[in-house]
Amino acid sequence: MDQHTLSVGRDVALIILITEAAVLGLAPGLVLYYLTRWLAGFLPQVSPFLSSLTREVRNLEEKVKGIMLKTATPFILLHSLATGVRRTVSVILRRR
């Protein structure tokens, strides 16, 4: 083959590859563009709902933490009391 024919073929293949990349890159770009435009109009409608949902979740979290604290407190107190009694008894027995 002639060197000139190879260089022309290479240039044509490069142009086809660049065109293909541009066309394939254009589709996701358009999707992202229209998606952001849609979200810009959609978010103000959803924001009040999300705010109330966040408030409800935080209230629920506070209630659950309160229940957990009320449930765990007696066990913590009993464990600390038992540990104190054990240490006191061991100290008293060592002194004898």
Find the mean pLDDT for residues 59-77: 95
Can you say whether the dihedral through the CA atoms of 66, 69, 74, 77 is positive or negative?
Answer: negative
Mean per-residue pLDDT of the chain: 91
What's the confidence (pLDDT) of residue 95?
Answer: 77
Residue given tokens 């100290």 in the structure block = 91
1 pLDDT higher than 70: no
2 pLDDT higher than 80: no
CA distance 60 to 51: 14
Q: Quickly list DSSP for 6-70.
A: HHHHHHHHHHHHHHHHHHHHHHHHHHHHHHHHHHHHHHHHHHHHHHHHHHHHHHHHHHHHHHHHH
What's the confidence (pLDDT) of residue 76?
Answer: 93
What's the confidence (pLDDT) of residue 96?
Answer: 65
What's the confidence (pLDDT) of residue 71?
Answer: 94
79 pLDDT higher than 70: yes
Can you say whether the dihedral through the CA atoms of 9, 14, 17, 22 is positive or negative?
Answer: negative
Find the mean pLDDT for residues 63-76: 94
Give the confidence band of 64 by pLDDT, cuts at 50, 70, 90: very high
55 pLDDT higher than 80: yes
